[in-house]
């Protein structure tokens, strides 16, 4: 082998540059042809329907997600229209558009499902829970955090939530007095970010106080979403963005700069937590749990703390704020729904300043229907997060080999017209009607995903949704300002849904603070 290598090096030295370049091109071409042949005719999922270009390469996915900007999900929709409910969307992934098969893909822990390893870079946090590939390792990491998001823990956190709700109410009163325009997505992100940052590392970021109406956490998360597709195709960019000078990143792309600033901020918080570990008692925050001495040292690194914080803060801020924004817009567009909700709330909140707990509010059937319909139309996370089974899975007549990433993106279920007639219409009554008929419409309420990797923060999100919507509907009168249905049209997938001009945005003015 050594002699052969020496011969090859010597031969290369004797070639001129043109010949060497031609040889390299030839080798790359042969490799490409062999790879294409394998993917089309020998690959384990060669029998799955779909366009040949998608089966042979990642060109289609790159073009629609990177060049066109988060549009591949709509191309996948067209594939399903042409090829049926199961399609091969790239050389190694299968997408299934069948809501009744969703629970087989996103299965409970009794059916082990690994993460698709090629998807991990998309989060920009490769050592976080959400990016952990093996089922067993994920289960260990998730168990460290799960107690913080149990229903009991969230109920215990309710005084903090109520404090932040009161701060938001104060800001809305100020907006009414000054006739200021309020961007609801930032107002709600201030609420959710203040709650989750307090829970994560013990210090509220005070977005509802010192930083109002700005929110660098929301901007940083938007930067992560903006670059998620690039991270997927070029994983080295994840570490590169951390190593480049901040000034250079800022000049190249403000969205990337916002994400880098967020990373740096969380790294500092992680280092401080580790330095002060011996002085802290108990497990009051998520960071405290992540540096517990009982965990292996490799699970208590600065990088892991910071990356876990990115994901926890992101999940605890962006999607809930997005859902509240969508809910508020549709309530204002459908005044009959708003008034019906307000009447129901009066049974628990007789005056506009009355308060009710989450446990009380979740007993209200119409408010619950509004929450479910808002979650459906907000779409949760739109990213294509795959699961990998360790055994062959049968979908109808198709065998999906072990090790194949299977995906069923949320919007395909949440906007399915056979389950939700007029799927883009805001209609909370559909949930009431289904319950009266004994139909389990909740089976298709998958905004938080399902199975062993379902959203950890589901209880916290529900609590914030109930408490914030009660405030919105019971205490204030709003009017929509320079916002139309088009602004909430789903146009792109950047982990969360984007409209024509970026993240969904709703502007309002506070017309009136309702009196006792």
Identify the three-state secondary structure at position 122.
helix
User: CATH 1.10.630.10: does it fit domain 43-513?
Assistant: yes
Q: What are phi and psi of 181, to 5 degrees?
A: -85, 130
List, in sequence order, every residue forming a beta bridge with 113; answer none if it has no partner: 389
333 alpha carbon, distance to own chain's centre: 26
Return the pLDDT at 313: 87
pLDDT at position 55 is 98
| Residue 3 token pair | 């002699």
The alpha carbon of 237 is separated from its chain's Cα centroid by a whole number of angstroms, namely: 20
Q: Comparing C-alpha atoms, which of 371, 412, 391, 320 is closest to residue 99?
A: 412
Q: Roughly how many angstroms between the first and final C-alpha of the chain, as a whole number?
A: 88
Which residue ranges make up each domain of the chain? 43-513
- Alpha helices per DSSP H over 334-454: 335-345, 358-361, 365-378, 410-414, 429-436
Residues sharing a CB contact under 8 Å with residue 235, sequence separation 6 or more, in sequence order = 120, 121
pLDDT tens, residue by residue, 248-297: 777 777 767 777 777 788 888 888 888 776 566 656 888 888 888 889 99
**Integer Cα distance of 479 and 166 in angstroms:** 21
Is 455 marked as binding a ligand? Answer: yes
296's CB contacts (< 8 A; 6+ apart) are none
pLDDT at 126: 87
Sorted by sequence, the CB contacts under 8 Å of residue 146 that are 6+ apart come out as 456
pLDDT of residue 11: 52
The model's pTM:
0.92
Burial, 45: exposed, middle or buried (Cβ in 10 Å; 0-12, 13-18, 19+)?
Answer: buried
The reported pLDDT for the residue numbered 210 is 80
Q: What is the mean pLDDT of each run of 10 residues along the chain (516 residues)?
A: 55 65 84 94 98 98 97 98 98 98 96 93 87 96 93 95 97 97 96 92 85 83 82 85 77 73 80 73 79 90 88 90 98 98 98 97 98 98 95 98 98 98 98 94 96 96 98 98 96 95 96 92
């Amino acid at each position: 082998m050594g002699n052969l290598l020496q011969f090859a090096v010597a031969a290369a030295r004797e070639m001129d540059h043109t010949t060497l370049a031609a040889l390299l091109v030839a080798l790359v071409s042969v490799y490409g042809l062999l790879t294409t042949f394998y993917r089309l005719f020998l690959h384990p999922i060669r029998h799955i329907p779909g366009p040949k270009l998608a089966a042979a390469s990642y060109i289609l996915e790159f073009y629609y997600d990177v060049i066109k900007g988060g549009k591949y999900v709509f191309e996948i929709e067209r594939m399903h229209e042409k090829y049926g409910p199961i399609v091969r969307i790239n050389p190694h992934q299968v997408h299934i558009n069948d809501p009744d098969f969703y629970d087989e893909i996103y299965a409970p822990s009794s059916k082990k499902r690994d993460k698709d390893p090629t998807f991990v870079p998309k989060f920009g946090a490769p050592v976080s829970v959400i990016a952990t590939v093996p089922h067993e390792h994920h289960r260990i990491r998730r168990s460290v955090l799960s107690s913080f998001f149990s229903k009991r823990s969230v109920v215990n956190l309710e005084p903090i939530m109520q404090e932040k709700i009161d701060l938001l109410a104060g800001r809305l009163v100020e907006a009414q007095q000054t006739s200021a325009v309020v961007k609801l997505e930032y107002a709600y992100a201030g609420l959710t970010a203040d709650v989750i940052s307090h829970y994560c590392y013990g210090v509220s970021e005070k977005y509802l106080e010192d930083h109002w109406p700005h929110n660098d956490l929301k901007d940083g998360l938007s930067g992560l979403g903006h670059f998620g597709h690039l991270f997927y195709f070029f994983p080295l960019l994840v570490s590169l963005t951390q190593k480049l000078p901040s000034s250079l990143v800022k000049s190249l792309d403000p969205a990337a700069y916002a994400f880098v600033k967020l990373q740096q901020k969380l790294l500092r918080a992680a280092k401080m937590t580790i330095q002060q570990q011996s002085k802290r008692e108990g497990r009051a925050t998520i960071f405290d749990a992540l540096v517990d001495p009982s965990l292996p040292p490799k699970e208590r690194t600065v990088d892991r703390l910071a990356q876990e914080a990115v994901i926890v803060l992101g999940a605890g801020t962006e999607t809930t704020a997005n859902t509240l924004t969508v809910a508020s817009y549709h309530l204002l567009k459908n005044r009959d729904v708003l008034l019906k909700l307000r009447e129901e709330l009066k049974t628990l909140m007789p005056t506009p300043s009355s308060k009710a707990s989450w446990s009380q509010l979740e007993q209200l059937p119409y408010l619950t229907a509004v929450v479910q319909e808002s979650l459906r139309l907000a779409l949760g996370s739109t990213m294509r997060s795959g699961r990998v089974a360790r055994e062959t899975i049968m979908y109808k007549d198709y065998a999906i080999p072990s090790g194949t990433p299977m995906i069923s993106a949320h919007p395909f279920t949440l906007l399915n017209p056979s389950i939700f007639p007029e799927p883009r219409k805001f209609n909370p009554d559909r949930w009431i009607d289904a319950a009266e008929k004994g139909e389990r419409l909740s089976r298709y309420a998958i905004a938080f995903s399902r199975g062993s990797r379902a959203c950890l923060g589901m209880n916290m999100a529900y609590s914030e949704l109930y408490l914030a919507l009660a405030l919105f509907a019971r205490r204030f009168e709003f009017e929509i300002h320079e916002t139309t249905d088009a602004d909430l049209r789903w146009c792109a997938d950047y982990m969360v849904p984007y409209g024509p001009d970026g993240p969904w945005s709703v502007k309002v003015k506070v017309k009136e603070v309702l009196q006792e």
